[in-house]
Structure 1
Amino acid sequence: MSRRFLRRRGHRILTVVACVLVAMVPALSAVASTPPRAATTAGTSAAEAGITSVSARDTTIVVTGTVPDASTPVAVYALGAQAPPDSYTGTEPAASTTADASGGFTATLPRMDAAGQDRLYDQYVVVAGGGDSAQPVGGPHYVDRLDFTRARDFAYPKAASKKGLQVEMTDDAEELGVQHAGINVAFNELMRNGPGEDPGAVVPFESNGRTFYFDADAVASLDGQIKPLSDNGVLVNLILILYQDADPTSAWPILHHPDAEVGGGTVYAFNTKTADGLAHFTAAMEFLADRYTRADEKYGRAVGYIVGNEVDAQWVWANSGDMPLDDFLSYYAKAVRIAWQATQKYWAGARTYISLTHCWTIVCGTNPDPDNPTRYYAGRDVIDQLNALTKHTGDVGWSVAYHPYPEDLFDPAFWNDTTAQPGPDTQRITFKNIEVLPEYLSQDDLRYDGGSRRIILSEQGCNTPGDTADAERLQAACYAYAYYKVRFLDSVDAFILHRHVDHQQEGGLRLGLWTWDDERTEAALPGRHKEIYDVLTQIDTAGSTRATDFAKQIIGIDDWADVIPGFDPAKLAERAVPTQVATLLDARPVGSSVVADFEDGPDGWRPSDNASAVQGVTGGYTGAGALRVRFDNAAQLPAWSRDAKTWKGADVVLPEPLDATGTPHLNLAVKVPEPAPGQFQAGNVFSAKVQVYARDGQVAYGVARLDPERGWTSLSLDLSDWEGRSAIQRIKVWVRGTSNDDWRGSFDLDHVTLARSVAPAPSGLRNLDVSATLSDHHAVGAALSVTVTNNDARGLDHVLELRPCDGVSVTPSSLDVTGLGTGESRTYQTTVTAFDPADADHPTICATYLRQVIRTTFTVPPATPTQIYGFETGTDGWAAGENVTSVAAVERFANGPQAPHGGRRALEATAAAVPASTPKTVAVHTATPLDLSAARTVVAWVDAYGGATGATGYEVRFILLSGTQTRTTTVSSFQADRWNEISLDVEDWPYRDRITGMEVSFRALGSDTPWSPRFQVDDVTYLD
């Protein structure tokens, strides 16, 4: 699931990864499905009676078929898709005709009925004979031929490579070079149940003679995800999902399947059982197709629609209640058909996909009765029976969005999978045997319109099995191997990785390219890049094999060709890397022409990545006007858009390409407002990035630091040597910080010009960047690596001095940077000789080049924890204390992240049913005192249930015992359902060399209601 939200059920949380149910929990082991069988032969031959085809044309519907008797009257009835096929009785036929001498017939009826309803979505029943002898012939049939003129006409776009990602930050997706994207569309958030009281809060849309309403903020947020991606040529696939929603304005009560077990699933099936449910789903599909196929791409473009998520695990990911597969597919097929018809109505290139887990002939879950599966189905059965159903009732151009995770989602070494075998009878299809899927779908009976059904891998990833460098390298090796397999498998169109950022509540999995940010309370906000980030960035470029060379030793191979059929390294360089160009600060343009001066408004500029609006303002760089780029609308922007370290920006598509051959210097001015005191962490640095896009797809960029105290900063990009300068199609400007603070603000942009040449600033200001990395948390004596990057047009010809500031000094302090050319970086090794900064976590070193001072903040690495208790082999002597009935070492648990903080086990305590505010305690008492004299801090990681009735918060107390002496810390800001680091400072405690025991207590605040929660303790460590 691309957006793995946890849904509370009392104090428990539902499983967030369907496949975890079978992969990791013994009690929920894989259950064999019905015996494996070949694809079912389906469809109606010409010799059989019934409807053979229903063609939708511009103004008519044409129904053809055969009846048993020649020259007999034939009546054709058009019924709603939800109606029972026998409900035609007592109604008037939509068309009448007479069969010919061979029993064949053709009936034509208006496409729009008398009420203005489009009969594209109806089912058709044919009745032969007259009077009492009239009988229905064959079964109901739907439109299966789309012979009408589409609303839009453009070719299906071509991506540079198969590399994809379920994208959170669109700016980062561009830097990664993503070519395919998966974006969630939560219908419960998107669609409202009425117009509401504020007309500006909804987007009305007409469908089949009715007006439906969509939430304006949700629509704007979706636009903000799709448009920056599709503007960059990314092929966007929308994942159509439905969550339970208590918002009284949500259309959730209408949209969810009426037989669903509400509260039993994470994602719910769409309501195709009632007329109102079908009308709402149809309207939503038409709304999406209309909005994201416009010729002007005003809101962006989507090319694919994935109906639901992992529907073979329907109880969790497409909950429809208990029902056999045939019944489930009778509803799911309608949703697939409507999605296909509605999107094809607007554009013939639109692709509709079904979504499946990696379970193929087994099920990913447990059915109440294994012999009568009603909750989980085998993926192969879904394909076979859906194919048979749609061929019998009118074939649909559905494709397959598969999720070939490793068999054990926690173990990325898929090459060791034992349940993924060659051939169609394999239990699972994972990365290891992904070729089985296209081979199976190539069977004649499963083909559509003469060709094999298309395949994308819309969600799958590689876990990071630990918080170590080796674990990150294993994750990256998994991705490299999987990508290469898919790259050379022509029958798969895209490999869309899950996830962009690790999620704290994804069942203990860490699948992201980024770690999560421990300092932010919001889930899945970016922390730092993992090893896989650079591999994914390079995987489809000329640097591909260099970036993945490390993985061969991990996998145990000498050459990729040994395990990748058809591997050809010459075919990997599919995507051109953007070109960095020299950028001057405060240069003076000579012979310039104005591209945009914003004197009369935005001049065609628009919000782009992580921004919600642009507006014209006064107080420009050279004139009265300027452009303000805003990212302060929390309702329309996700949390990551407001994270200071994500790029926020605006761009313009030029009416006609600009030829900058004679004026190759692009100039503009940027201003970031001065931050309020305490708004950002110490050492936050603002930067700008200007990107220039050529008509042929080439991209050039320039980067520079910004100083808010200076006000406006003028940037001048030298495009003289860039081949794309003769046809500039688009310009984008980004700004960001380096901290993780919440930044709900804006920046200003002005005076965009092209110039023949530029003169350097009289001040001699150079466009330099300096970064530093400290090797050890004990700073004095540690190595400080200093990297100097020259982003300027001029080479460096002086020494750079590292002068003492913020209590930090290093040696050597003089760095010879002479000869460092444009775009080049050089790293120098220094040693810290003094360390007394104002902020010990964010110290600063001052670099001086000529008279220019560049302040550089670096991060002090955390101490390496030394484990005291890890609970890998048992409870390690910990026992139940006050108000706790039992303790156990467990691998999985119901609350929070559902997995240990580290390793395979954690200590879990089960509390007695006592008042919620009463402490519940676990403790350990040592036979031999522990010597922690080397410790500065002792840490315990604690997780716990939430959901205590009436609670205002939760509290944890951590106590160290040394005989009768104690050292205690109490955390009253404890967050339930996540691991909390409980730190106890012992540096000045004289008894730390003889620890005789520890205690951890948990309680709710503000409630005395009886409550029996569970809580977990893991990784009790010390830091020196």
Structure 2
Amino acid sequence: MFRTCLAFCAIVLCCELSAEQIGCVQRVPNEINQENVQLNNGTIEIHGSASIEIVPQSTVGKGDWAIEFETFCVGGVEQMTLASAFERSASPNTASKETSEYKTSTPQSLPPFMHSEAFRPHVAILEEAKGFHLAGVNMLRLDLTMKDDAVLQIRNVRLRRPQESDHEKNADSLAHAADPELLNAYLARTFASKITGVTVGMSDIQITGTVANHRTDVTLGDIPMEILLGNQSPYRELIDIEIQNDGSFEVSVPRTTLVDDRRVDRLTDRWQLYHDGPSGNVAICHARYAETVACRQPELPPAKPSSKKGLGGWSAQRSPVLKNELKDLGITAITVNIGGLHQYVSARPHPNFTKFSWQGRDYYANERELQQLDKTFREAAANNVMVSAILLISNPEKSSDEDLQRLRHPDADPSGMFAMPAVTSSEGIGYYGAILNLMAERWSRDDGIHGRVHHWIVHNEIDFGWVWTNAGRKSDIAYMDLYQRSMRMIDLIARQYDPSVRTWISLTHHWAERGNEYGYGSKRMLDLLVQFCQTEGDFPWGLAYHPYPQSLFNPRTWQDEKATFEFDTPKITPKNIEVLDAYMKLPQNRYHDAVRPVHLSENGFNSKDYSDAAQQDQAAGMALAWKKIQSLSSIEIWHYHNWIDNRREGGLKIGLRKFRDESGDPLGKKLIWNLYQAFGTPREDAEANRYLQTIGAKSWDELIHRENIH
């Protein structure tokens, strides 16, 4: 029920919009606890259940409307309702209750804001037929039911007319993905015949296998990577094979072939056996990608970090005044974001771009942008630091950039921060491959003239792909079918130039639980990737995991209730990081009997403010995590995120340093900076032990889980 609101705080979030788009002001009702609802720099921040008032800044007409928000929501909203309020002089055609100044409608349910760890758009359709009568409305009241530890931020609220894109498409309703039923049946099927190996040499490709039940009319199909399961003619070529008496065969084919007068490298193709029977050519085995790739620089040495101490999102240009930070902190590994891949290579000629060829097509390298990355990679090399590059594809809501439209997946929804690459079209995968090949070759040179990239993290947090690697609404198996193609592309291309390079799957702390209705769960994604590898050929990928605390805002990870010591734990956080190590050591998750490496490639702890108590909590979380991972052999690196507090991270202060514009102490070192510096030095125990009291423990040993995990 509405009450008179004489005293309120307000933010004008949108002002001059068209008649069909109405900007709104957010207000905090005076009965709301001001400690729970705060206004900060144009954003309203809510801790736990609360209500806010939304005031349209111009007259709302008749008909259906959509209300649009940008939200950053850690923990999610459990229930959300919206009610309309009209000044008593107004007479809208709606059922109402009276307050001292307003007539108010009965609250109607809205789809609640989901958990998200970045600002994302949220749209709700307000249809008259469902009780939303907004004509002449003076105010809207949004009531939010949230858990006490949930944190919600809202900005840029507006009313507008509904659009066709507001109506969500069903999962897998779009054409650019394989049918999930076909995928499930394919992965579960057992064939008597099989391809046992695919080896890519410098000039040819060798394929070996065994054929059961047939001795004639069997051919080998060459299938381009972009072809989806279910295509009636998936192969570009059928090759005769000679089957031995024991059913085995071995065939060598040229590595390149002509396609539409273009010379095409078959490095990334997969191979499958077909039998020509009464109903035509029928597949008699699973398809298989190459596992072994000839390397042009087999002597290129691998990176060998001297400790597990890394830093996330580093660049040489980010803060020039801290040019000695890698050395001062003793950093041995960094991650570098390569965002907006389309800006580095174009399919069209531009002034001062360098022409090159890939798969028989011409492309153009943007040397100016590439040289900016060179500076970062050379600086890392000068400090003997291992580099893992994170490949990110832009996904703006509206863009006329032809290269971007060619690169991103055609089903990508604009709700996503980044997109999946277009791995299901010849043009898209050709362009993507051109970018990957240019970068892999450039940053794997033995002379190091451009610097070095040792590993490639393939996109970001794909179990939360709706936000971080969007391909539209897809079932988990259809999504993984797309993603593993992207992983294989960079794996096969990069291993031509660096024998020790790895690709890495990026996953969040949501383990056996999905996180929200759009999430898949990290465990499910990992299991699906393993299943694809068992079916279509394995490759040496690693795991880039993000074990943030249960709530990003609460650094006291030792209190995480959803982090348990079992393989079906809802979340994996620093509290139960032993679960991840144990899971990666299971036989089915290994690569050729070796445990796949784990890089904790994005992790940090929040300080709610810069008080000593808040910084103590932040440092204590980091001390606990560091002490735990030292004995976990699968975990090779901890990349701390963020180096510097960032005002675009939804109110989080997870940096080692304060905001660069912090009044009185810009870029000031927090307690965690000194702790992180001490790790791996003789000062480590003295610095870390200070935080045992904060955790409530007498020793680190009592906090480490040593029992079997099932």
Structure 1 length as normaliser, TM-score? 0.49
1:277-676 equivalences under 5 Å are: 277-365=428-516, 367=517, 375-518=518-661, 527-564=667-704
Shift of 1:187: 3.3
Matched-pair contact (CA < 8 Å) for 1:189–1:218? no
1:67 aligns with 2:220: no
| Matches of 2:234 and 2:593, distance apart in 1 | 40
Shift of 1:466: 2.1
| Matches of 2:589 and 2:652, distance apart in 1 | 35
What is residue 283 of structure 2 aligned with on the other side? 136
Q: Look up the SS of the partner of 1:120 in the other structure.
A: coil
| Matches of 1:267 and 1:556, distance apart in 2 | 41
Shift of 1:92: 6.8
1:959-978 equivalences under 5 Å are: none
| Matches of 1:305 and 1:447, distance apart in 2 | 19
Pick from 245, 255, 270 the counterpart of residue 407 of structure 2. Answer: 255
Deviation per CA, 1:55-101: give whole Å up to 9, x if none: 21222112222333242132112121112456574977352113223
What is residue 791 of structure 1 aligned with on the other side? none
Q: 1:12 to 1:47 in 2, by over 3 A?
A: closer
What is residue 213 of structure 1 aligned with on the other side? 364
Shift of 1:401: 0.4
Q: 1:361 to 1:66 in 2, by over 3 A?
A: same
Q: Look up the SS of the partner of 1:227 in the other structure.
A: helix
Shift of 1:416: 0.9
Matched-pair contact (CA < 8 Å) for 2:341–2:435? no
Q: 1:184 to 1:87 in 2, by over 3 A?
A: same
| Matches of 1:526 and 1:162, distance apart in 2 | 28
What is residue 338 of structure 2 aligned with on the other side? 185
What is residue 160 of structure 2 aligned with on the other side? none
Q: 1:485 to 1:46 in 2, by over 3 A?
A: same
| Matches of 1:364 and 1:488, distance apart in 2 | 29
Shift of 1:105: 2.2
Deviation per CA, 1:414-439: give whole Å up to 9, x if none: 11111101110111100011111121
1:13 aligns with 2:153: no
| Matches of 2:389 and 2:75, distance apart in 1 | 20
Where in structure 2 are there 5+ consecutive unaligned residues?
1-41, 43-65, 78-113, 118-143, 152-183
What is residue 246 of structure 2 aligned with on the other side? 102
| Matches of 1:489 and 1:518, distance apart in 2 | 38
Q: 1:171 to 1:247 in 2, by over 3 A?
A: farther
| Matches of 1:142 and 1:208, distance apart in 2 | 18
- The one of the two structures with greater contact order (alpha-carbon pairs below 8 A, sep at least 6) is 2
Where in structure 1 are there 5+ consecutive unaligned residues?
1-5, 31-39, 368-374, 567-1024
Q: 1:45 to 1:52 in 2, by over 3 A?
A: farther
Q: 1:528 to 1:195 in 2, by over 3 A?
A: same
Shift of 1:126: 1.7
Q: Partner letter of residue 556 of structure 1?
A: G
Q: 1:42 to 1:529 in 2, by over 3 A?
A: farther
Q: Partner letter of residue 702 of structure 2?
A: D
Structure 2 length as normaliser, TM-score? 0.70
Q: 1:209 to 1:223 in 2, by over 3 A?
A: same
Q: Partner letter of residue 217 of structure 1?
A: R
Q: 1:45 to 1:328 in 2, by over 3 A?
A: closer
Matched-pair contact (CA < 8 Å) for 1:95–1:108? no
Q: 1:244 to 1:181 in 2, by over 3 A?
A: same
| Matches of 2:522 and 2:115, distance apart in 1 | 14
Deviation per CA, 1:434-492: give whole Å up to 9, x if none: 11112112222222122122111000100002231211121112112211211221210
Q: 1:88 to 1:74 in 2, by over 3 A?
A: farther
Q: Look up the SS of the partner of 2:691 in the other structure.
A: helix
Deviation per CA, 1:643-694: give whole Å up to 9, x if none: xxxxxxxxxxxxxxxxxxxxxxxxxxxxxxxxxxxxxxxxxxxxxxxxxxxx
What is residue 109 of structure 2 aligned with on the other side? none
Matched-pair contact (CA < 8 Å) for 1:164–1:180? yes
Matched-pair contact (CA < 8 Å) for 2:590–2:596? yes
| Matches of 1:87 and 1:65, distance apart in 2 | 23
Q: Look up the SS of the partner of 1:400 in the other structure.
A: strand
Matched-pair contact (CA < 8 Å) for 1:352–1:399? yes
| Matches of 2:662 and 2:272, distance apart in 1 | 61
| Matches of 2:146 and 2:356, distance apart in 1 | 48
1:268 aligns with 2:412: no
Shift of 1:227: 1.4
Q: Look up the SS of the partner of 2:222 in the other structure.
A: strand
Q: Partner letter of residue 463 of structure 1?
A: N
Shift of 1:15: 3.3
| Matches of 1:502 and 1:399, distance apart in 2 | 28
State, as a whole percentage, how many aligned pairs show the same letter: 27
| Matches of 2:705 and 2:667, distance apart in 1 | 37
| Matches of 2:638 and 2:381, distance apart in 1 | 17
Q: Partner letter of residue 285 of structure 2?
A: G
1:194 aligns with 2:347: yes
Q: Which structure's residues are more often helix, by fraction?
A: 2
Pick from 309, 312, 315 the counterpart of residue 163 of structure 1. Answer: 309
| Matches of 2:520 and 2:189, distance apart in 1 | 29
Q: 1:191 to 1:104 in 2, by over 3 A?
A: same
Deviation per CA, 1:814-849: give whole Å up to 9, x if none: xxxxxxxxxxxxxxxxxxxxxxxxxxxxxxxxxxxx
| Matches of 1:397 and 1:385, distance apart in 2 | 16
Q: Which structure's residues are more often strand, by fraction?
A: 1
Q: Look up the SS of the partner of 1:154 in the other structure.
A: coil
| Matches of 1:251 and 1:23, distance apart in 2 | 29
Matched-pair contact (CA < 8 Å) for 1:128–1:134? yes
Q: 1:106 to 1:437 in 2, by over 3 A?
A: same
Q: Partner letter of residue 328 of structure 2?
A: E
Deviation per CA, 1:743-785: give whole Å up to 9, x if none: xxxxxxxxxxxxxxxxxxxxxxxxxxxxxxxxxxxxxxxxxxx
What is residue 788 of structure 1 aligned with on the other side? none
| Matches of 2:329 and 2:484, distance apart in 1 | 36
CA RMSD of the aligned region, Å? 3.2
Q: Look up the SS of the partner of 2:334 in the other structure.
A: strand
Q: Look up the SS of the partner of 1:258 in the other structure.
A: coil
Q: Partner letter of residue 255 of structure 2?
A: R
Deviation per CA, 1:857-894: give whole Å up to 9, x if none: xxxxxxxxxxxxxxxxxxxxxxxxxxxxxxxxxxxxxx
1:563-962 equivalences under 5 Å are: 563-564=703-704
Q: Partner letter of residue 255 of structure 1?
A: L
1:22-33 equivalences under 5 Å are: 22=115
Matched-pair contact (CA < 8 Å) for 2:584–2:634? no
Shift of 1:519: 6.3
1:118 aligns with 2:265: yes
| Matches of 1:106 and 1:93, distance apart in 2 | 17
How many residues in Structure 1 have an aligned counterpart in Structure 2?
535
1:173 aligns with 2:326: yes
What is residue 836 of structure 1 aligned with on the other side? none
Q: 1:563 to 1:87 in 2, by over 3 A?
A: closer
Q: 1:205 to 1:469 in 2, by over 3 A?
A: farther
Structure with the greater alpha carbon radius of gyration: 1
Q: 1:423 to 1:210 in 2, by over 3 A?
A: same
Matched-pair contact (CA < 8 Å) for 2:198–2:207? yes
